[in-house]
Amino acid sequence: MSVPVPRTCTEILLENSDQRREPLCGPLDTFQSVPAYVLLGDPGSGKSTAFCVEAEALGEDAVLMSTREFLRSYANRGGDWQGKTIFIDGLDEMRAGSGEPRAVLDRLWMALDTLGRPRFRISCREADWLGSNDRTALASVSPDFQVTALRLNPLRACVTMPKRRAGSSWGERRVLVTLGA
């Protein structure tokens, strides 16, 4: 039996922003009300799994598919997706096979614009994300003309380890460990 682990993420603030605040950090589901976000992370960090969990939590109000599948099917399925949040997984995988990384984003932009600027989530490897250029392009097809960028935090586990208490017996202490580093 597998049980999904709630994931956390950290907001990536705009580089040249006037925002004088700390980036938000917390469980991914706290960003559920954001109309559009991009989830960035390293290969194998759990972006796709996090999307599955988030889409499942929205039930019938979510559509989850790969970037390739989305770009192939949006024209025929747009009406079915009205009012739903669209989870578009693996932008980086389409870019890897393309000679021009911006061309894939242009196709994605056109699809989202054709669908009437729906709520969306996009996953991408951080190394393949073109930062403010990608963010600016996607903001123009977001429901509120903004795109939040989130970095998926590494998995952490809480481990109980023995600890010698001052003066007497062994006790326990909880230690936070980063997995897979």
Say if residue 172's pLDDT is above 70: no
Mean confidence (pLDDT) of the chain: 84
Cβ contact 40:152 at 8 Å = yes
Q: What is the pLDDT of residues 70-111, one digit of tens each?
A: 999 887 876 788 899 999 999 998 887 667 778 899 999 999
Closest CA to 17 of 132, 144, 129, 126: 132
The pLDDT value recorded for residue 125 is 94
User: Could you tell me where the beta strands, DSSP code E, fall in the chain?
Assistant: 8-12, 25-27, 36-41, 62-66, 85-89, 120-125, 148-152, 156-164, 170-178
Angstrom distance (rounded) from CA 75 to CA 119: 17
The type of residue at 152 is L
The domains located in the chain, with CATH, are 8-154 (3.40.50)
Name residue, tokens 């390293």: 42
pTM given for the model: 0.82
How confident is the model over 27-55, as a mean pLDDT?
95
pLDDT higher than 50, residue 181: no
- pLDDT exceeds 60 at position 163: no
Q: What is the mean pLDDT of residues 53-78?
A: 91
pLDDT in tens, 106-140: 999 999 999 999 999 999 999 999 888 999 999 99
